[in-house]
């Protein structure tokens, strides 16, 4: 099966060139012009590799890479594209979770060689870990969620919300933290977040009416694992 590659690049011409080239070479590319779109795509389907430009509008490439590693707990290979050539820039990229670094301007043939090398390396490793909290299980490799042993179908944004909270069970998340995780920035209205929290709470409801998704009034939200200790 062809590798699925997500291109996160705000320059439409560069993104289109990479997309067309990779498609012609037998890959299955998808594209996002900013972090918000990338997060939506990562929540809705599994990818084998991420090609990431650092100079994104809003949430930058470094912040997105850190978010993917720390908040979403995804270990897909990340190949950074940038015009920044200092040692400090490269160090920052690798510290954020990048696996390789390609300077602009670059040859599309070299990009393909680096992608293939990263995919070969990834094939010998378990790059994703299942996320668990009580009776909730998320399999990042397939993008499937299971609740009480049964598959659970969620809208992409609602599933992304679950992934973020599953990465740190029994941890308090503020509204601001969750909005930045879902949209790359804080929102003017709390209605969109409240909608997805309501969807998730309904999906995770139990016969007694309780849910592992708890509201801490005036502070934020928490996904409760009965086996763990809550902490703010």
Q: For position 178, which CATH number holds?
A: 1.10.10.10
Overall average pLDDT of the 68-72 stretch: 83
CB burial of residue 91 (10 Å; 0-12, 13-18, 19+): exposed
pLDDT of residue 181: 81
Q: Is-contact 170 224, C-beta < 8 A?
A: yes
Q: By residue range, what is the domain housing residue 68? A: 4-123
20 in any annotated domain: yes
Q: How far apart are CA 24 and CA 185, in angstroms?
A: 35
User: Would you say residue 126 has pLDDT above 70?
Assistant: no
pLDDT of residue 210: 78
Q: For position 117, which CATH number holds?
A: 3.40.50.2300
Residues 101 and 177 in one domain: no
User: Would you say residue 131 has pLDDT above 90?
Assistant: no
Domain boundary, last residue among 79, 95, 123: 123
Residues 32 and 67 in one domain: yes
Residues 108 and 217 in one domain: no
230 in any annotated domain: no
Q: How far apart are CA 209 and CA 150, in angstroms?
A: 18
Residue 146: how many other CB atoms lie within 10 Å: 15
Overall domain count for the chain = 2
Q: How far apart are CA 178 and CA 116, in angstroms?
A: 34
pLDDT per residue as tens digits for the range 163-203: 889 888 999 999 988 888 888 777 778 888 999 999 999 99
pLDDT per residue as tens digits for the range 13-60: 999 999 999 999 999 999 999 999 999 898 888 899 999 999 999 999
Show the tokens assigned to 216. 């801490």
% of the chain beyond a pLDDT of 90 = 48
Least confident of 90-94, 159-163, 226-230: 226-230
Show the tokens assigned to 111. 């990009």
pLDDT of residue 71: 80
User: Would you say residue 77 has pLDDT above 80?
Assistant: yes
pLDDT of residue 128: 52
Residues 108 and 153 in one domain: no
Residues 92 and 31 in one domain: yes
Domain boundary, last residue among 86, 106, 123: 123
Q: What is the mean pLDDT of the chain?
A: 87
Residues 114 and 152 in one domain: no
Q: Is the dihedral of CA 59, 65, 66, 71 positive or negative?
A: positive
Q: How far apart are CA 205 and CA 147, in angstroms?
A: 10
Residue 19: how many other CB atoms lie within 10 Å: 18
Residues 166 and 182 in one domain: yes
Residues 115 and 138 in one domain: no
3-state secondary structure of 216: strand
Residues 25 and 45 in one domain: yes
pLDDT of residue 229: 55
97 in any annotated domain: yes
User: Would you say residue 103 has pLDDT above 50?
Assistant: yes
User: Would you say residue 3 has pLDDT above 50?
Assistant: yes
Least confident of 8-22, 76-90, 111-125: 111-125
Residues 165 and 187 in one domain: yes
């Amino acid at each position: 099966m062809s590798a699925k590659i997500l291109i996160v690049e705000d320059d439409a011409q560069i993104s289109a060139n990479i997309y067309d080239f990779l498609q012609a070479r037998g890959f299955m590319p998808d594209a996002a012009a900013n972090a918000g779109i990338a997060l939506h795509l990562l929540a809705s389907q599994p990818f084998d590799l991420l090609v990431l430009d650092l100079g994104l509008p809003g949430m930058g490439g470094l912040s997105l890479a850190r978010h993917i590693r720390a908040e979403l707990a995804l270990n897909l290979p990340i190949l950074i594209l940038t015009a920044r050539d200092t040692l400090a820039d490269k160090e920052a990229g690798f510290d954020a979770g990048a696996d390789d670094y390609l300077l602009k301007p670059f040859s599309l043939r070299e990009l393909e060689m680096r992608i293939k090398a990263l995919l070969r390396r990834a094939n010998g490793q378990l790059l994703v870990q299942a996320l668990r909290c009580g009776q909730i299980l998320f399999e990042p490799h397939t993008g499937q969620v299971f609740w009480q042993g049964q598959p659970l179908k969620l809208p992409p944004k609602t599933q992304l919300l679950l992934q973020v909270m599953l990465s740190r069970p029994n941890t308090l998340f503020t509204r601001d933290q969750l909005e930045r995780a879902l949209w790359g920035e804080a929102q003017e209205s709390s209605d969109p977040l409240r909608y997805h929290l309501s969807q998730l709470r309904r999906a995770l409801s139990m016969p007694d009416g309780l849910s592992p998704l708890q509201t801490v009034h005036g502070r934020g939200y928490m996904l409760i694992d009965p086996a763990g200790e809550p902490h703010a």
